[in-house]
Structure 1
């Protein structure tokens, strides 16, 4: 039976073991977001080279989410949160999941099986954000608590923001290695031979008319 979970951040692995694929989640606490490929590339380089990062990710989050922050007298206001496609970051996420000690990641569209293996190994889940849900998700914004790598354009920066009841988010990959995306892929592939046969038969029938 699918459940709804109200999670307070930061969170530990044990607390995530009761979450299953398809469950709904609402998050409260500090999250880290960035939508920039250069950002994830730089993070990976920092992890591989064991260079000090500008913020602590341990037991935390890294979401594939763009944002717009406006600076005023040294403080920042976040205008919106908008998820981006996670598969853009497939090549970086296994390293980042392990190297940053992530407990939660997410965005749109899921991650590949290399990332799933890393998540199962370390105790991390993937949360699917509502596509086109920018207005709804942005209602959860409470306070920007840190902006890092300001040499990057605003939605590429690492931004830490405090949210309240961010959601609804859906568990797309759980800590046990179950992935709704892999299941959908395998289901689609299983139907492919039948679809191809049907198309072939229709083409042949059309050529005889």
Structure 2
């Protein structure tokens, strides 16, 4: 049976181990996000070269979310959140999941099987964000608590953001090795011969 979970960050191992593919999640607390491929490449290089990162990810999140922040007299203000395609980060995420000690990552479109194995090994889940859900997701924004790597353009920067009931987010990959994306791909592959046969018959 699928369940709905209201979770507070940072997440514990028990928090993520209880989640199953298809469950709905709402998050409250502090998340970390960036939509920039160069950002993930920089994190990956820092990890591999032993260079200290500007923040501690241990037990936290790294979401594939675009955003727009602007400076105000009181600090940074975030105007919106919007998910970006996670598959762009496939080469980097297995290493980042393992080395950063992430409990959750996510965006839209899922990650590959190598990332699924890393999540199963370490206790991390992939949360699928609603594509086109910018208005709904942005309602969860409370305040920007930190911005890192300001040499990058706004939506590439690493941002810490306080959120309240961010969601609904769907568990796309769980800690038990189950992936909605692998399942859908397997279903598509199994149907392909019948589709091709039907197309061939229509040409006759």
Distance in 2 of aligned mates of 1:57 and 1:37: 18
- After TM superposition, the runs of 4+ consecutive aligned structure 1 residues lying more than 4 A away are none
CA deviations 1:22-78 (Å, max 9, x no partner) are: 000000000001000000000000010111000110000000000100112361000
Q: Which moved more, 1:101-110 or 1:192-201?
A: 192-201
Distance in 1 of aligned mates of 2:49 and 2:120: 24
Distance in 2 of aligned mates of 1:74 and 1:121: 42
Give the structure 2 partner of residue 23 of structure 1. 23
Distance in 2 of aligned mates of 1:71 and 1:164: 22
Give the structure 1 partner of residue 152 of structure 2. 152
Q: How does 1:16-165 map to 2 (within 5 A)?
A: 16-73=16-73, 75-165=75-165
Distance in 2 of aligned mates of 1:139 and 1:99: 32
Give the structure 2 partner of residue 198 of structure 1. 198
Root-mean-square deviation over aligned CA pairs: 0.7
Distance in 1 of aligned mates of 2:182 and 2:13: 22
Distance in 2 of aligned mates of 1:148 and 1:31: 13
Shift, 1:128, TM fit: 0.3
Structure 2: give runs of 5+ residues left out of the alignment: none
Structure 1: give runs of 5+ residues left out of the alignment: none
The normalised TM-score by structure 1 is 0.96
Distance in 2 of aligned mates of 1:58 and 1:146: 16
